[in-house]
């Protein structure tokens, strides 16, 4: 999808150069990859055995990390529209359990350029999925089915992700990006859904018009 956006934007740029520029004229495009990390946590929930009897309470929290990318197309001096997608992962326990969240969608932001610096604020609307594995004991490594050992959950949700950040132009077409966001599950809230501030760092390859 990122490649499609870049190819589409490049072709559109050639077409737009032949027309008089308006206040919302095409003003370039950019895209790249970013790494992220942050501290996230969920709510307290109760683990039960196969008969439905409560065992103990659990709350997921810890450091999450991941990778992803974004592409943006500019219109006028401030508006940028595009798409982004990321995967983030957190360790749940000392036995190998994890929570993995993948999400993406359509983004829009407003940007203000001051010399080499570009400030931006915006948000993404889309969807995602959660996979969560809790290991209650160390796996023995054999082919026996163990009871009361693991809990696995998978569900999807609609995502809204506000963000803000800053770009610094190392070169005209290479920008270092620093961004912070917060992922919200707005349609399928679950107590084991972890959220919190994530910090992103990456490189954007840009072709913005001055």
Q: Give 164-209 pLDDT, tens digit per residue.
A: 999 999 999 999 999 999 999 999 999 999 999 999 999 999 998 8
- The model's pLDDT over 8-52, given as tens digits with 9 standing for 90+, comes to 444 544 444 445 567 889 999 999 999 999 999 999 999 988 788
Q: Which ranges in the chain belong to alpha helices (H)?
A: 2-16
> Averaged over 72-76, what is the pLDDT?
95
Q: Is 206 helix (H, G, I), strand (E, B) or coil?
A: strand
Instruction: Look at residue 177 in the predicted model and tell me its pLDDT.
Output: 97
Instruction: Look at residue 176 in the predicted model and tell me its pLDDT.
Output: 97
**pLDDT of 112 strictly over 70:** yes
* Dihedral of alpha carbons 202, 179, 188, 132, sign: positive
**What global pTM score does this model have?**
0.85
C-alpha span between 148 and 136 (Å, rounded) = 7
| pLDDT confidence bin for 6, thresholds 50/70/90 | very low
Q: Is 175 helix (H, G, I), strand (E, B) or coil?
A: strand
Instruction: Look at residue 3 in the predicted model and tell me its pLDDT.
Output: 46
- The model's pLDDT over 117-150, given as tens digits with 9 standing for 90+, comes to 999 999 999 999 999 999 888 877 777 777 778 8
CA angle, residues 171, 173, 175, in degrees to nearest 5: 70
Instruction: Look at residue 20 in the predicted model and tell me its pLDDT.
Output: 54
19 Cβ neighbours under 8 A, 6+ residues apart: 25
> Rounded to a whole number, what is the distance in angstroms from the first to the last CA of the chain?
26
C-alpha span between 116 and 175 (Å, rounded) = 9
């Amino acid at each position: 999808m990122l490649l499609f956006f870049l190819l589409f934007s490049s072709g559109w740029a050639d077409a737009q150069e032949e027309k008089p520029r308006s206040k919302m004229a095409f003003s370039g495009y950019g895209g790249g990859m970013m790494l992220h990390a942050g501290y996230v946590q969920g709510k307290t929930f109760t683990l039960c055995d196969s008969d439905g009897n409560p065992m103990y309470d659990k709350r997921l929290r810890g450091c999450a990390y991941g990778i992803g990318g974004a592409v943006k197309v500019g219109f006028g001096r401030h508006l940028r529209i595009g798409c982004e997608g990321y995967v983030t992962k957190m360790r749940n326990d000392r036995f190998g359990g994890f929570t993995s969240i993948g999400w993406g969608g359509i983004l829009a932001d407003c940007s203000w350029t001051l010399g080499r610096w570009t400030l931006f604020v915006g948000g993404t609307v889309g969807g995602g999925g959660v996979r969560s594995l809790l290991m209650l004991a160390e796996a023995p490594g054999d082919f026996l089915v163990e009871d009361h050992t693991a809990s696995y959950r998978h569900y999807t949700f609609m995502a809204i992700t506000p963000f803000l950040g800053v770009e610094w132009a190392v070169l005209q077409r290479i920008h270092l990006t620093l961004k912070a966001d917060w992922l919200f599950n707005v349609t399928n809230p679950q107590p084991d859904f972890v959220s919190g501030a994530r910090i992103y760092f990456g490189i954007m390859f840009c072709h913005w018009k001055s």
